[in-house]
């Protein structure tokens, strides 16, 4: 008799799970969030946020209008990085447009440019760049050196062919491993799965439990024979299901819309996702034990998101971060999940590579869960 009362009771636990599903079904806002959040983020990060920006607005100051200079401009546009939006009368006004952020680049073609070229004096063309966001201009500038060669080969013909030096123009285009086209989505979209799961799992479990406390229904629950462990685990089951649905949603979008390749094992990917979901749910439960109300739960959740988004290698390359940031990043489950999922999708990793990145996530979940159990209040004290 006593054992049955003190121990975990499956039917009581199941009644808790049922209740959560019933409530979730009626919670339109939450439901919208489950589907809307991944879609919104996919659009934002997959399309809008592009770390290899192209068609950057460029102004040209044409002090010398010739076949050669027109050819230079058109070759620049053909790279895809530059889009000539303005032709300016003088350097001062072009500089002003640059300062105001209306253009990203200014191309200054000096007077007598063509004549100087034909005389073999090697004149300079000045390309001014708004480099306040280096990642926006980095790739564009990298493409510039090869332009000169292309123009030379194309336009310096006949008696002037010798000026081109006879050398074949060589490319300095960056070579990208695992992502030959240099598409940012291929890197960003898999990383999004972890970011979205972190947001929904932590936030929703945090809210689900504090909501009971805030509405006073927790008092009712605690007055019944339901055990705290049954309340906790019963409440998170629906969110495991939600997590898997979201993972699938993102995966499908990645494949169909963003043409992210799947080189590795899908089952290994789902296994990784489950471990990652567990780690995040443990964070959600801990937050809800610490938070007094739903607002605090949301604030704590954001407090947790920040290092995750910044230090997990999602936003910035992990190897580019200073040592202390890498140390923090290594403790976060998202860092390991990002490596796992990119490894599986892009590099063709599988079960064999799962463990090296899984144990830090499991360790994290175990530690956080211990904290949660310690702080969980069985009474209203």
Which stretches of the chain bind other proteins, using CB under 8 A? 2, 5-6, 9, 11-12, 14-16, 18-19, 22-23, 26-27, 215-217, 219-220, 222-226, 379-381
Question: Cβ closer to other proteins: 17 or 271?
Answer: 17
**Residue closer to other proteins (CB basis): 9 or 118:** 9
273, 193 contact by CB (below 8 A): yes
**How far is Cα 342 from Cα 336, in angstroms, rounded to an integer?**
10
* 23/50 with CB nearer other proteins: 23
Count CB atoms within 10 A of the CB of residue 220.
Answer: 11
Q: C-beta of 1: minimal distance to other proteins in Å?
A: 9
Nearer to other proteins, 12 or 95 (CB): 12
Q: C-alpha angle with apex 247: 241 to 250, nearest 5 degrees?
A: 140
Residue that is written with structure tokens 């990383």 in the block = 191
Q: Whose Cβ is closer to other proteins: residue 232's or residue 249's?
A: 232
Rounded to a whole number of angstroms, the minimum distance from the CB of residue 30 to other proteins is: 11
CA pair distance 311, 135, nearest whole angstrom? 18
Q: What is the residue-wise DSSP string for 357-375?
A: HHHHHHHHHHHHHHHHHHH
Question: Cβ distance 68 to 30 under 8 Å?
Answer: no
Output the CA torsion 34→38→43→47 (10° steps).
Answer: 180
- Nearest of 349, 353, 365, 315 to residue 335 by alpha carbon: 315
Task: Pick the closer one to other proteins by CB: 17 or 148.
Answer: 17
**What H or E segment, with its residue span, contains residue 60?**
strand 56-62
User: Cα-flanking dihedrals φ and ψ of residue 252, to 5°?
Assistant: -60, -45
CB of 236 to other proteins, least distance (A): 18
Name the 3-class secondary structure at 259. Answer: coil
Q: Cβ 27 to other proteins, closest distance in Å?
A: 7
Give the chain's end-to-end CA distance (angstroms, integer).
27
Nearest to other proteins of 58, 210 (CB atom): 210
Return the number of the residue (11 or 167) whose C-beta is nearest other proteins. 11
- Give me 116's structure tokens: 């100087």
User: Would you call 4 exposed, middle or buried from its count of C-beta atoms within 10 A (0-12, 13-18, 19+)?
Assistant: exposed
**CA triple 101-105-106, angle to 5 deg:** 110
Minimum distance between the CB of residue 364 and other proteins, rounded to whole angstroms? Answer: 32
**Shortest separation between residue 8's beta carbon and other proteins, angstroms:** 13
Q: In angstroms, what is the minimal distance from the CB of 13 to other proteins?
A: 10
Least separation in angstroms between residue 240's CB and other proteins is 21
């Amino acid at each position: 008799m006593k054992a049955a009362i003190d121990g975990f009771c499956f039917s009581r636990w199941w009644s808790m799970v049922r209740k959560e599903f019933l409530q979730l079904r009626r919670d339109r806002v939450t439901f919208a969030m489950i589907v809307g959040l991944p879609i919104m983020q996919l659009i934002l990060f997959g399309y809008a946020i592009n770390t290899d920006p192209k068609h950057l607005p460029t102004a040209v100051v044409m002090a010398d209008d010739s076949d050669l200079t027109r050819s230079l401009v058109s070759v620049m546009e053909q790279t895809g990085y530059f889009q000539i939006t303005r032709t300016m009368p003088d350097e001062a006004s072009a500089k002003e447009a640059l300062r105001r952020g209306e253009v990203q680049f200014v191309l200054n073609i000096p007077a007598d440019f063509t004549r100087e070229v034909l005389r073999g004096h090697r004149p300079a063309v000045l390309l001014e760049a708004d480099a306040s966001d280096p990642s926006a201009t980095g790739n564009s500038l990298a493409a510039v050196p090869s332009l000169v060669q292309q123009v030379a080969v194309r336009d310096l013909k006949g008696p002037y062919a010798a000026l081109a030096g006879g050398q074949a123009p060589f490319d300095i285009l960056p070579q990208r491993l695992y992502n030959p086209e240099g598409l940012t989505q291929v890197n960003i979209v898999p990383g999004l799965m972890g970011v979205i799961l972190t947001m929904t799992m932590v936030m929703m479990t945090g809210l689900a439990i504090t909501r009971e406390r805030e509405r006073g229904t927790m008092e009712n629950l605690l007055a019944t024979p339901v055990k705290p462990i049954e309340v906790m685990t019963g409440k998170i089951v629906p969110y495991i299901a939600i997590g898997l649905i979201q993972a699938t949603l993102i995966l499908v979008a990645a494949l169909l819309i963003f043409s992210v390749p799947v080189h590795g094992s899908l089952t290994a990917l789902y296994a990784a996702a489950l471990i990652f979901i567990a780690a995040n749910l443990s964070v959600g439960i801990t937050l809800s034990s610490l938070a007094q109300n739903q607002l605090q739960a949301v604030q704590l959740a954001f407090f947790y998101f920040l290092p995750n988004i910044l230090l997990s290698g999602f936003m910035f390359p992990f190897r580019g971060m200073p040592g202390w940031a890498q140390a923090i990043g290594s403790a976060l489950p998202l860092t390991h999940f990002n490596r796992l999922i990119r490894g599986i999708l892009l590099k063709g990793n599988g079960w064999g590579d799962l463990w090296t990145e899984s144990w830090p996530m499991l360790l994290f979940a175990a530690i956080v869960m211990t904290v949660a159990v310690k702080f969980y209040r069985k009474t209203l004290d």
